Amino acid sequence: MNQPPSNSSPAATPVSDTPSGSGAAAPASVGAMHLLRDVEVEITLEIGRRRMRIAEVLKLSTGQTLELQKAAGEPLDIFVNGKLLGRGEAVVVGDRYGVRITEIVAPVGGDHS
């Protein structure tokens, strides 16, 4: 999932400058977002995590299954440049995996750290 999605993907969801369904005018800072539209960012989808000792990792073999801490059906975390953006669900688009965004956890640009 490290490859950028094709612009012709039918599962791609357009991103709006205004919150969906708000009907309110966008804040002035959002109006300047057009200046950043061509900036490339890294999007990471986290399916789950597991802590292991190095000795356990060295014992892993091909075909072995690792149980993750996240339950099946639980929302997947979506990170942009290492910061949590939202959550979503895994989808299959043709022969590739994708993610359908189901929740945005913080406004874009809301964290200036």
- Which CATH number applies to 30-104? 2.30.330.10
pTM, entire model: 0.57
Report pLDDT for 5.
45
Mean pLDDT for the stretch of residues 95-108:
86
3-state secondary structure labels for all residues of 69-81: CCCCCCCEEEEEC
Report pLDDT for 17.
41
Residues 6+ apart with CB under 8 A from 33: 17, 108
Domain-wise residue ranges, the chain: 30-104
Report pLDDT for 14.
41
Give tens-digit pLDDT for 33-56: 788 889 999 999 888 899 999 999
Residue identified by tokens 């490339």 is: 40
pLDDT at 96 over 60: yes
Amino acid, single-letter form, for residue 25 = A
